[in-house]
Amino acid sequence: MRDYEFITARHFEYFEPADLGEALALLDEHGPAGAKVLAGGQSLMVMMRRRALMPPVLIDVKRIAELSGIEEREGGLVLGATTLLDDVVGSGLVGRVLPGLADVAGQMGSIQILNRATVGGAICHADPSFDLTPALAALEARAVIRSSAGSREIPVEEVASGRYENQLKPNELLVSVVVPAQPEGSLFGFANFRRRGGEMPLAQAGVRVTLGGSQEVADARIVVGGAGPVPVRSARAEDLLRAVQLDEAAASRAGAQAEVDAQPFGDARGDAQWRSALVGTVVKRALLAAAR
């Protein structure tokens, strides 16, 4: 049996641009031919070693200062694309503005992984098992995408177009993620399911519930990961929560509806029916976490 883990990637050209303008120019030149952007490389390099990906050009953006860092903006946050997950975990600013987001980032791997993986890489890699995108989507985060022709913003859950595929054009680069200020009375919750510690989650859910003056739910966002190739909102589960108290009964009803709506894929780690049941479980757990 051949061990694909240790197969060496084929020859490729390597560029390390000094600034964003140079990076975008390189993408104009090499993007259409299949160039890949390297940030932390936590996932990309593994896929190259296994020859699941064999790009002719790597454009390493991790030393571009303007792509890294965490800033507060109008009560929300701006996360640079090359910001390490460990920096999100340890940020006092994130801990003050959105403490739940720091907790999610901290669940995404060992300390070694957190010190290599980046915010932008976790989103653009589009692995359905990654926790970050459903959590950010529940908070209405938007991805800021740049090219030499200009910039555009899209909801962060729309970056993924399929399993390990994103909708960025060959000459585009995700430069930051903007998390807006959350509505008054908002509660955030997150839950995932792993068979055992250290494994990738089989399903996860990020939720934001906004309470009205009577402490009933005025609005809700439920975003599920692992239920298909891309993160999905569970609109009918959200509808069940409006105008009711957020208690265990309400969380159970919403979870059951999310389970019905889920259309997950099956793979070696679990069939589609079992993953549907997991969706209901993680949605209920996330809602109860928010209620606490």
Same structural domain, 201 and 175: no
Dump pLDDT digits (tens) for 94-118. Answer: 999 999 999 999 999 889 989 999 9
Same structural domain, 162 and 203: no
Name the pLDDT band for 132 (thresholds 50, 70, 90). Answer: very high
Judged against a pLDDT cut of 60, whether residue 1 lies above it is answered with no
Give the burial string for 69-87 (b: 16+ CB within 10 Å, else e): ebeeeeebbbbbbbbbbbb
Dump pLDDT digits (tens) for 26-60. Answer: 999 999 999 999 998 878 888 888 888 889 999 99
- The enclosing domain of 102 has a CATH number of 3.30.465.10
Domains contained in the chain, number? 3
Judged against a pLDDT cut of 80, whether residue 200 lies above it is answered with yes
Final residue belonging to a domain, choices 153, 179, 205: 179
Final residue belonging to a domain, choices 14, 36, 59: 59
Name the pLDDT band for 11 (thresholds 50, 70, 90). Answer: confident
The total of other beta-carbon atoms located within 10 Å of residue 149's CB is: 11
Same structural domain, 150 and 249: no
Same structural domain, 159 and 105: yes
The boundaries of the domain holding residue 274 are 186-291
Give the mean model confidence (pLDDT) for residues 110-138: 93
Which amino acid does the sequence have at 283? V
Q: Quick one: pLDDT at residue 2?
A: 41
Give the burial string for 38-49 (b: 16+ CB within 10 Å, else e): bbbbbbbeebbe
| Residue 201 burial (10 A CB sphere; 0-12, 13-18, 19+) | buried
Q: Quick one: pLDDT at residue 8?
A: 58
- The model's pTM: 0.92
Final residue belonging to a domain, choices 137, 163, 179: 179
